[in-house]
Structure 1
């Protein structure tokens, strides 16, 4: 960008430094939250969380559920099966799950929390505000 707009080089550099600082703080904040119990078994609603889990050393099992769809009987049976070996108490969703899904999970001892990977521009706020909300949401699954 600086080559294309040399007059804005200082602005680009300053913005880059601000972004880098914000991302490093986000990383520290996530580490602080999850470090309380990294071995805690978690279920995640989508394989997209595999990268996140690897980066933060989390113990996850992925399903492929959509937050706006009620899990089928087959999906619930699959979940029951792997919960025997992976006794999770929390499921992380990429979006707010519908109430019936939350209730079905509660019935088998799973709480729900949203960690929005922000694959699209958010309706409100920006990437960093969504990530800050995610950190706050994760605190429920990793209490002090």
Structure 2
């Protein structure tokens, strides 16, 4: 009797293994938080969406390790942002059939910038690629990227197409509402010169006709005396009334800006989640804060 029982156990084990394999979820990798958010909205619980960049690292200049590269290469879908975002992709071999450049349809709307070489923390020197990369700060461009993600999911059969399309409709409506909210909230704001602590906001400024000059400060760090002198010079040159901070700086930095007549607005550009809400919630909060700052 032992042999039949062993055979029965073996059959059960094989069936269990096959069942587990059949239930394996597709894996999608995104190079920034907005693309992760779009993919999660579109996929629901039908796939795992991974954003492998550590929370304390700028994903624009992240350097993946061997394990990270293996994880990315094995993904069913790899979502790239385009416009020079995520410099590591030029040094890693990726499976072309699974790579999607989500900004391909909006390349004619890319904003060209000056090439600037500088450093971020201990990440070494790097150069901006001559293109503004934070496309998702324009909700209209974000819609195009979300549509590209949905098309890629549907083309690969990662989730039921009808469900993906319904979710895309909902996501598109949310982004259209975000755009409408910003358009109303920032009406007339083009008369208020602003300074950003880093050149992240080009697409946002272009969409809402804002005048934003940029510095090259480290996000969340205390500015040096030299940087504060540069700020004072830029305030005198532009007549700026508002300063946009990528991340909450030390209180002394806020005080120094206030002394120069600047009202501070914390405006995370959302390449990483700031932990204070979803992409939509965080941008809505930033827009509301900016609107309050420009309202007399």
Superposition TM-score, scaled by structure 2 size:
0.46
> Is 1:102 paired with 2:257?
no
Counterpart in the other structure of 2:184: 32
Q: CA deviation at 1:3?
A: 3.9
Counterpart in the other structure of 1:58: 210
Larger deviation, residues 5-14 vs 16-25 = 5-14
Q: CA deviation at 1:123?
A: 2.2
Q: Provide the rounded CA distance (Å) in 1 between the counterparts of 2:277 and 2:259.
A: 34
Larger deviation, residues 1-10 vs 12-21 = 1-10
Cα deviation code 1:10-38 (max 9, x no counterpart): 11011001111111111111111211321
Counterpart in the other structure of 2:164: 12
Q: CA deviation at 1:124?
A: 4.2
> Is 1:117 paired with 2:269?
yes
Superposition TM-score, scaled by structure 1 size:
0.89
User: Secondary structure in 1 aligned to 2:190?
Assistant: coil
Q: Provide the rounded CA distance (Å) in 2 between the counterparts of 1:108 and 1:2.
A: 52
Of 191, 212, 229 in structure 2, the residue corresponding to residue 77 of structure 1 is: 229
* Matched-pair contact (CA < 8 Å) for 1:65–1:71: yes
- Between the two proteins, the alignment pairs up a number of residues equal to 144
Which ranges of structure 2 fall in alignment gaps of 5 or more residues? 1-152
Give the 4+ runs in structure 1 shifted more than 6 A.
none
Higher relative contact order at CA 8 Å, sep ≥6: structure 1 or structure 2? 1
* Matched-pair contact (CA < 8 Å) for 1:42–1:91: yes
* 1:68–1:6 CA distance, 2 compared to 1 (3 A): closer
* 1:18–1:82 CA distance, 2 compared to 1 (3 A): same
Q: Provide the rounded CA distance (Å) in 2 between the counterparts of 1:17 and 1:40.
A: 35
* Matched-pair contact (CA < 8 Å) for 2:220–2:246: no
Q: Provide the rounded CA distance (Å) in 2 between the counterparts of 1:78 and 1:7.
A: 51
Q: Provide the rounded CA distance (Å) in 1 between the counterparts of 2:275 and 2:289.
A: 18
User: Secondary structure in 2 aligned to 1:57?
Assistant: coil
